[in-house]
Structure 1
Amino acid sequence: MSAQLLENVLQALVAGLLVGAIYGLMCVGLALIFGVMRVINFAQGDFMMLGMYAGFFVFAGLSAALGLGGGVTAYAAILLAGPLLFLVGIAIHALLISRVSGTRSAKLEGEGHYAQLILTLGIALIVQNGALIAFGSQLISIRTPLSSTAWTVPLLGGEVMLFINQARGVAAAISVAVIVALTVLIGRSRLGKALRASADNPDAATYMGIDVAHSHRLAFGLGIGVTAIAGGLLATTLPFQPFVGLDYVIVMYAGVVLGGMGSIGGAFWGGMTIGLVQQLSTLVLPTQLQNTAIFVVFLAIVFFRPQGFFGRVSERT
């Protein structure tokens, strides 16, 4: 393998890992909602878009009010967008989603899934067009000094040079930190136990004194907040507009299915796989065919392992 080819492969591999970490974070948000609530949320990509705009405007507000700028302020604003969208998720669940999920869904046709599909598609259309009216269609991004700078890593005595975009590197590190924090929250805290109990057996959880409706509301808010942070991190390297959610909601669902429906850790690795395939495919395919490569690999993996990487096979009786 020539030095140039090796450099191209390693460059694509590193880019895939960095982008995949952000994809993994956005997939985790969707997996959290489905894993706890069993709700198919087609508006997830549009809530991610709102996270992008929230990060952008919080960054602009902090810069104007405090006279602060640069990378630290931008990433602080992106992290603040998470709690803001968490509150939005709580409100959306209380007003709308709770009507077609939880114990109420048992009385609906198809256990509420038909109503959930129509409702979340309607929310997506309202959010998209509302954002278009409010923010316009112009492409914007959260630009920081890190967005246009890179770390240089020499390999093989300088024959191979890797260029790692600093904004992507910091975004990937923050993504991993958020996922680790979320994993600890779900696995170790009292709240996490309540969420897992509500997901595994809502009836038994109710008998144990757990407010399942409240757990579902928190899970929906957390899922929206986590995906909003991922959107803000993505906006430091890529421009966005009100319809950007359409481009990523398919990536989210593909990552969740690859990881195994309901598995939070699996969703992260599913998103990581999509990022790697997307970037490595550029070595042999034009950029326009990246999504084609993603779904060819997706179909191949699902063909041999339908339950995903970490999913469980359920037997029907």
Structure 2
Amino acid sequence: MQNLLTLLQTTIDGILIGGVYAVISIGLSLVFGVMHIVNFAHAEFLMIGMFIAWFAWNYAGIDPMLGAFIALAVTFVLGMLMQRTMIKPILHAPQVSQIFLTVGLLFALENGALLLFGADYRSVSTGYQTQALTLLSTEAGRLFVPLDKLYAFLMALLSGGALWYFLSRTRWGRAMRATAQDPMAARLMGIDTDKMYMIAFGLGVGTTAFGGAVILPYITASPTVGSQFVVLMFTAVVLGGLGSVAGAVVGGIMVGLIQSFSALFLPIQLMNLTLFVIFILVLAFRPEGLTARRRA
């Protein structure tokens, strides 16, 4: 019974954290799917979202779950400005130029945050951080859901659902998908592809910042926090298929479960070993992603 409870608890933890991984990875996959550019600075917007939520909590008493919407709005505008001034000029440049630009942007954002905020770690204090919802209680132990992770998961689910509705049910979302499929045909149909690129980049970095804000109750903010998530984000989108929003969701859940079960069976120093091994194997044998259909 105790072993069964341990496995169930590990599964719950993996799904909860995987849901957040999914929403921060959706943005990366959306940007690639629409603009066909890999943004290596994407994880830095998670850091920006965390700091925005921290300042909102520290100076205005706004809970990080609500501060996430402020982070989304601010980074959405910031992302559109960056796309127009930095990303647009290199959209049709060689891939090496795109890589150099986004890697340079990564260092600029990280070091800019170090200059502005220092290297200190910042955390928040909420009433639900130490609370948990008990699902099952027996003599062998109990099955519970930490409220901070549950709220983060539900907020991630909300943002992911809103993005899905936007892409599949709105006129702008359909225009964005048309732009991703065939930019030339989209322009001939009267779609402003430049505007679609701006919105896609803004939404991509905005959803990642949103995800960063909702995990603030259980992860401290620092200028270098993006480096903890960048490999996880790329692993999630590679597992699900780069450019697929639905695949990023599946990949994020998979990453969360792999991490959770690895921590159960391996020493803490090797927690990510299984994840990286799977990442390399997928790149080698299924580079299109586990959820994508093989092309004939």
Q: Distance in 2 between matches of 1:23 and 1:222?
A: 16
1:162 counterpart SS class: strand
* Correspondence for 2:109 among 127, 132, 148: 127
Deviations 1:137-196 (A, max 9, x none): 1111233111111112215x5544112110100110111111111101000100111110
Asked if 2 retains the 8 angstrom alpha-carbon contact of 1:20 and 1:273, the reply is yes
In the alignment, which residue of structure 2 is the partner of 1:41?
39
Instruction: For residue 308 of structure 1, report the CA deviation from its aligned partner.
Output: 1.2
Letter in 1 for 2:26: V
Asked if 1 retains the 8 angstrom alpha-carbon contact of 2:262 and 2:272, the reply is no
* Correspondence for 1:283 among 264, 279, 294: 264
Letter in 2 for 1:307: E
* Correspondence for 2:163 among 165, 182, 187: 182
* Correspondence for 1:195 among 168, 172, 176: 176
* Correspondence for 2:119 among 137, 141, 150: 137
Deviations 1:236-270 (A, max 9, x none): 11113101111111111111111012110110110
Alignment of 1:260-271 (within 5 A): 260-271=241-252
In the alignment, which residue of structure 1 is the partner of 2:28?
30
Deviations 1:89-122 (A, max 9, x none): 0111111011101xxx1xx3x3xx1111101111
Percent identity over paired residues: 35
In the alignment, which residue of structure 1 is the partner of 2:227?
246
Structure 2 portions without partners, runs of 5+ = none
Q: Are 2:276 and 1:307 equivalent residues in the alignment?
A: no
Q: Distance in 2 between matches of 1:250 and 1:49?
A: 14
Asked if 2 retains the 8 angstrom alpha-carbon contact of 1:263 and 1:310, the reply is no
* Correspondence for 2:96 among 114, 117, 126: 114
In the alignment, which residue of structure 2 is the partner of 1:219?
200
Q: Distance in 2 between matches of 1:12 and 1:136?
A: 35
Instruction: For residue 5 of structure 1, report the CA deviation from its aligned partner.
Output: 1.7
In the alignment, which residue of structure 2 is the partner of 1:66?
none
Instruction: For residue 287 of structure 1, report the CA deviation from its aligned partner.
Output: 1.6
Q: TM-score, normalised by structure 1?
A: 0.89
Q: TM-score, normalised by structure 2?
A: 0.95
Deviations 1:203-232 (A, max 9, x none): 000100111111001000000000001111
Structure 1 portions without partners, runs of 5+ = 64-68
Alignment of 1:53-132 (within 5 A): 53-63=51-61, 73-101=63-91, 105=92, 108=93, 110=94, 113-132=95-114
After superposing on structure 2, the runs of 4+ consecutive aligned residues of structure 1 that deviate more than 3 Å are 157-160, 299-306, 312-315
In the alignment, which residue of structure 1 is the partner of 2:211?
230
Q: Distance in 1 between matches of 2:222 and 2:149?
A: 20
Q: Distance in 2 between matches of 1:6 and 1:300?
A: 30
Asked if 2 retains the 8 angstrom alpha-carbon contact of 1:260 and 1:312, the reply is no
* Correspondence for 1:274 among 248, 251, 255: 255
Instruction: For residue 311 of structure 1, report the CA deviation from its aligned partner.
Output: 2.4
In the alignment, which residue of structure 2 is the partner of 1:15?
13
* Residues 157-166 or 12-21, more deviating: 157-166
